[in-house]
A and B are shown apart, each in its own frame.
Chain A
Amino acid sequence: MLGRMADNLYWMARYVDRAETLARLLESTHTVSLMPTAGAEQAEWRALLDVSDRDSFAERYDRPTQNAVISHLVLNPANPSSILSCFGGCRENARATRHMLTTELWEAINQTWLEVKDLTYARLLDIGQAEFFEWVRNRAEQIQGVAAGTMRRDDGTFFLRLGSMIERADGTARTLRLRRLAPQAEVVDYYRWGAMLRSFSAFKAYREIHRGGIEPRKVADLLIFRHDVPRSLHFCMDGVTRVLDRLRPAAACARLAGRLHADLHYGSLDELDDAALDALLDDVILRNNALGTQIQKDFMMIRQGLAG
């Protein structure tokens, strides 16, 4: 397939996953902010700015109030990672490759965009924040489900999978890093980490694996090292290496992915104190990012010569 098409598919999948991660983050923050003990709910919302584009926030909003942050993360067209921008970007990439998509997949993406493109903040409040975040998650899940259920397993779906896994790893690592930054009183902590587990659909998994209470380190262990939790870093790298093994095992990106995967596969929380844990997350974010760049270089560079 054309390298440019691979690039479009890769980004299409990244945007979908990005919208989903953001919706999950907003959902969990929303839950925490409803807690009577929180008191510092503005801080919860403010913290979300760390995972988004600060420049476009400053251009449009005065203060990081809850309304401003939500509006920025959901609707600000100048924010390249707002949910609106994600669905728009997903749809633009899908439009460029729609001849490679099944009709069902294109319709799922197009329909999502048509429903969200004229959304206003007032309308968002009408719908209800929790309702809307759930809608975003549902649409993202639908798009991914339709892709899995209808697309032929050719190179195209490999690039969708790569985009999805790279983006998801980034989202998980960043969210975890964000949540580790501001420890609160113990009781609040319990709810914060609980909400976060739920936002990763991992609450049940945690309960099955760990008896006792919710401990931040165990949550980190679950979302970093467990191979069987679908939003964990280890799981994501399993996915990436498996695809690259099929696509081109000798590619430079396959080596980067293999090394990162090995660290997650053979690493253990027992070796890490809290500072080392944070450092590991920072390291994963950087290496995952470099891996994404290398995948694009290896497969999608539009200006490659005959030597390839």
Chain B
Amino acid sequence: MRKPPFDEMHGQRGEIRAAYREFGNWLHSTSVERLSERHRQADLLFRRLGITFTVYGDTDGTERLIPFDIIPRILDALEWRKVGGGVTQRVRALNAFLHDVYHDQEILKAGVVPADLVLNNAAYRPEMKGLDLPRRIYTHVAGIDVVRVDAEDFFVLEDNTRTPSGVSYMLENRQTMMRLFPELFARNRVAPVDHYPDLLLRTLRSMAPAGIDDPTVVLLTPGHFNSAYFEHCFLAQEMGIELAEGQDLFVDDGTVFMRTTEGPKRVDVIYRRIDDDFLDPKTFRPDSMLGVPGLMSVYRAGRVALANAVGAGVADDKAVYPYVPDMIRFYLSEEPILKNVPTWVLRKPDDLSYVLDHLPELVVKEVHGSGGYGMLIGPTSTGAELDAYRARILACPENFIAQPTLALSTCPAFVDAGVVPRHVDLRPYVLSGEETVVVPGALTRVALREGSLVVNSSQGGGTKDTWVLEE
């Protein structure tokens, strides 16, 4: 039998860990009725504010509320130094990698990352070769998924370098907690996160084409049927920029314009929340109704900036993930602060045979999958499910990677049964502009179903406020 997972509030012997001490006292002296009441108020608040997401394929209405858990996830300053430093380091390396693979490809020549893995990757965009981007930044906004297994070790589970979402929950969760539990903030020195939109805007403005002093920035959304539409609205409002759909923008005379009530207005920087494939029907998918025809030609001419850059996805592909620690050593000459989860790459015959032999113990993921879809969690799967997945792997081994089933850390959560431990992960958001920075906070996702390890909101996960305590 495996030992119980590490709980972030209660240490191995049931003592309250330092970061949770003040909170623990408060929790101890607070009745379940009061927690219940606050929980209900939080729910009401989120519903009234309309903080919702959309579940694809859900027929009974397009919007749902992400469950919010009122128990905060708390990290002390020391823990944060490690996580914050680690993800910042990682994103610096990922940006260097992206610049390299679209220019001299030193890392491929050196054999550190297999060339075919990058060059034959669907997320690799030959259109980007030789294009010089401002400050050599490709992933301006990155979300790095981090998990924890004990008091010391944090592992990076996944990098998100395309259009990571969820930051609005980090901000709204904090707002909600401050409103519901002001007394907790009086007793704990919680580092603020509200300046994120300001930092984001500064990052975006710093990407403007040369010679533009006061750039016009817009957020490009697929529209209100998109699952993250709430977040797009939220960020546009917080930054005071226009929220544009593809149909609001057009290209004329080598310039991107938006259609305003006062006629066309030039656009300099686009924070796009649309996938590469849909950005420009003239370059990518011709059937895309979401994009802006001709956008890529303006981009290539350096007359508009896109964040994140086209082709940034090749850095977060699960097939590339196992090589990120080597990238850090290669580009930064530093040792990685955060570890990778040990990963078997099924394109390697040895790894494949090991994984097939140990399938019931492992987590297997599709290299291009995301959102928790199409993944196998060995220990909770039936024999039939394992057999079906085995057949899928054998049909195309290079499409898969496998990892050990981590005993993800738990954190107390308030559910119907009371305060109980539930598995959590952590997604800090890293911004890269003039410098690479991370606000002291993150989105904590929590698997609210008992025993579940899947934290994705599309799979029954919830969120909680994440506190970084100041020293």
Contacts and interface: CB of A to CB of B under 8 A. Distances in A.
Interface of A: 1-6, 92, 95-96, 98-100, 103, 106-107, 110-111, 114, 155, 159, 247-248, 299-306, 308
A5 B224 CA distance: 13
Contacts of B229: 95
Interface string B211-241: 0000000000000100001000110110000
Nearest to B52: A95
B259 A4 contact: yes
A305 B263 CA distance: 9
Interface residues of B, number: 27
B242 A2 contact: yes
Interface of B: 47-50, 224, 229, 233-234, 236-237, 242-245, 247-248, 250, 252-253, 257-264
B interface majority secondary structure: mixed
B237 A110 contact: no
Most chain B beta-carbon contacts within 10 A, residue among A98, A107, A300: A98
Contacts of A1: 242, 260-261
A247 B262 CA distance: 9
Contacts of B244: 2
Contacts of B47: 114
Given A3-B260, A300-B261, A301-B259, 16 more contacts: A1-B261, A2-B259, A2-B260, A3-B259, A3-B261, A4-B247, A4-B259, A95-B233, A100-B237, A107-B49, A110-B50, A114-B47, A248-B262, A302-B248, A308-B263, A308-B264
Contacts of B49: 103, 106-107, 110
B258 A2 contact: yes
Contacts of A248: 262
A4 B233 contact: no
Given A99-B233, A99-B237, A304-B259, A4 B248 contact: yes
B196 to A, nearest CB: 16
Nearest to B63: A95
A6 B258 CA distance: 13
A99 B224 CA distance: 12
Most chain A beta-carbon contacts within 10 A, residue among B233, B234, B248, B250: B233
Contacts of A111: 48
24 contacts: A2-B242, A2-B260, A3-B248, A3-B259, A3-B261, A4-B247, A4-B248, A4-B259, A5-B242, A95-B50, A99-B236, A99-B243, A100-B237, A103-B49, A111-B48, A114-B47, A248-B262, A302-B259, A304-B259, A305-B252, A306-B253, A306-B264, A308-B263, A308-B264
A111 B47 CA distance: 9
Contacts of B253: 306
